Structure 1
Amino acid sequence: MNDYIKEREESAKKLAAEQVLPNVQWFPGHMTKARRIITENLKLVDVVIELLDARIPYSSANPMLQEIIADKPKLVALNKADLADPAMTKKWINYFKTQGIKAVAVDATQGKGIKQLVQITEDLARARTEKLVAKGAKARAARVMILGIPNVGKSSLINRLAGSNKTKTADKPGVTRAKQWIRLGTHLELLDTPGILWPKFEDMNAGLKLAFTGAINDEAIDRELITEVFLDTMLKHYPDRIKERYKITDALPDTPLELLELIGKKRGCLVKGGQIDLEKAQRIVLTDFRSGKMGTISLDVAPDISQEKD
């Protein structure tokens, strides 16, 4: 690793808390309200579905949720599985299994994994609903709450489960705001809640990956640095994806900045005088990754199960 990359990595570490990911930006008033809504309504549901981004299962998991959920039955839905490395997603599912948590890979847009998700949800809820009936209560549908940080695809999943567009969706964080109950046939009632981020990023790497995927609004981050750190990651772990996407036949540049300039040339991001429009090139790179045009990519590596068992 050359001195430039070392310098950029140290810069990323230093700036993550101070400039790139300022804590005050990521816990606005509506997120405080969201936590209150979740806490108040948790007692109404039988099962919690924690929705994670399959590309970053660790980084997209809100550490506050486990504290809020406590011993409520929970399963994990790894959404956007179509964008993640299938082999790594499988490792994550196996890892969750070792933790006593059922996990399902889903693609809410195409509907893959939805039937399995519904079946597991109903199975987890059955113990509570049958207990209520045994006490004399009227049989009812299982009640479910979906929780997750912004932009992991909650609205898309709910629309798929409901069979129609019941909620407003957009490819940006913070669209879902108010609590709403949605009837899913005769077996499930779904409580949607706003996405919540945690008040501070203690794990700088997790914060960076959230910025890569768009869970943090681009307007509130240092996009130049974020893009360079992302390209540094791609150079290390997925160089072939970069070469294929941007039709680069020669050896890749040594530094992310040089790579960004090359991509800018390949995509015609030129301004007067033949200079590279780096801002346009940055948008292209992040959009290509988020939309899956770079291929299936996983940025969080699943823990080693063999070590977990020791």
Structure 2
Amino acid sequence: MENYIWEKQRWIDSFKEKNCICFGVNSHNKGSIRELINFVRARIKELKAGDSGHTATVMLVGIPNVGKSAIANAMHQIGRISAEGMARLFILLAEGMIFIYIRKPSLHPGDTKDIRSYKIASHPNIYVLDTPGILFPEIADAHAASNLALTGAIKDSLVGECALAQYFLSVLNSNEEYKKWESLSGHAKENSAQKRGQYPSDHTQDFVVWDVRRTLFETISSFGRRCLEEEVEMGRLIELQFAALHEDFRIPADDTDGYRTVALKLLNLFRTGRLGRYTLDPIPQVSDDHSSIHPPNISPSDFPSQNI
């Protein structure tokens, strides 16, 4: 079982142990969305036993930029036997509230500015309310704040794109996801070299992504897992990776903003799933110090207090 699936199941089990009602769904899948709608309908019928003529409303609540609007639209479309779902999400339904935990990235945090209502079922009539994202007024835990920034819950510029990309690399370097790219190691880049002149700025092309994966695998492997438990070694590896990725991303040597360009492209590949899938919040352990993963220095004042 892939690591992220295993982590997701652990979260489901953890919530069930706390007597929370949990449900996992893939909203790319029509059948999965229908199951979710049926699940919500059954839950509402339990709460409104004997009253078949009522109208019920379910509220979608979550942090900014997790895809709440996508799941609301998917439920609305499937509920009306219309178009397919729009995003992949894992959601938990707890005590009549829907909480989004795994996200599909959108362009910017805070796209939803008001509360919108969508009909998702009849007999009984059920509406889902899509709401703007919410955050705590202050987030003192640097690790949690870094994860929120990495998922796009706040603007990258509030943290710094370079610091955020460095943090992502520390997550990737401490994970097992990179091992899937072993088959790319040692392969010549001749095909990539032939194609470099075609779309030099498009980092989303497959051959560019393959080069990035190859570089990440080879650099991590050259250090060894035990070395990465030391902060200094992790920092050295990240600097080595940034330098190598300049070539993979076809960034001109005279680009004075090349480091930031690498950071932006790296974050984009992560958020679009091209560099693997990660559960940023594992089940908390008694003595969990997050090993050598060091978040950037983020002050609570960096988080916007409104329009999130």
- Which category describes the TM-score, using the shorter chain as reference length? 0.5 to 0.7
- Gaps (5+ residues) in structure 1? 1-82, 305-310
* CA gap 1:198/1:162 in 2 versus in 1, 3 angstroms: same
**Counterpart position of 2:113:** 177
Amino acid at match of 2:265: I
| Equivalent residue, structure 1, for 2:169 | 231
After TM superposition, list the pairs within 5 Å mapping 1:143-222 onto structure 2: 143-163=57-77, 170-186=106-122, 187=124, 188-222=126-160
- Residues 157 and 194 (structure 1 numbering): CA distance in 2 closer, same or farther, change over 3 Å? same
Does the aligned pair in 1 maintain the 2:60–2:131 contact within 8 Å?
yes
Match of 2:266 in 1: 285
Instruction: Work out the CA distance in 1 between the residues paired with 2:28 and 2:158.
Output: 27
What count of residue pairs does the alignment treat as equivalent? 216
Q: For the structure 1 residues 86 and 101, does the alpha-carbon distance in structure 2 shift closer, same or farther, using more than 3 Å as the test?
A: same
What value does the CA root-mean-square deviation take over the aligned residues?
A: 3.1
Q: Secondary structure at the match of 2:22?
A: strand
- Map of 1:250 onto structure 2: 218
Residue of structure 2 in register with 1:71 after alignment: none
Say if 2:208 is the partner of 1:240: no
Q: Separation in 2 of the partners of 1:287 and 1:272?
A: 23
Q: Distance in 2 between matches of 1:90 and 1:154?
A: 21
* Change in CA separation of 1:296 and 1:278 when aligned onto 2, cut-off 3 Å: same
| Residue pair 1:263, 1:281 contacting (<8 A) in 2 also | yes
What SS does the corresponding residue of 1:95 show, helix, strand or coil?
A: helix
1:211-236 CA-to-partner distances (Å, cap 9, x unmatched) read 11111112322111111121112111
- TM-score, L = length of structure 1: 0.61
What TM-score do the two structures reach when normalised by structure 2?
0.62
Q: 1:114 to 1:236 in 2, by over 3 A?
A: same
Q: 1:241-260: per-residue Cα shift (whole Å, max 9, x none)?
A: 67765223634364212212
Q: CA deviation at 1:263?
A: 1.7
Q: Is the 8 A contact 2:219 2:240 kept in 1?
A: no
Q: Residue 145 and residue 84 in structure 1: after superposition, are their counterparts in 2 closer, same or farther (change >3 A)?
A: farther
Per the alignment, residue 94 of structure 2 pairs with none
**AA at the equivalent of 1:260:** F
Q: Given the alignment, which residue of 13, 19, 22 partners 1:103?
A: 22
Gaps of 5+ in 2: 87-104, 185-209, 224-235, 286-308
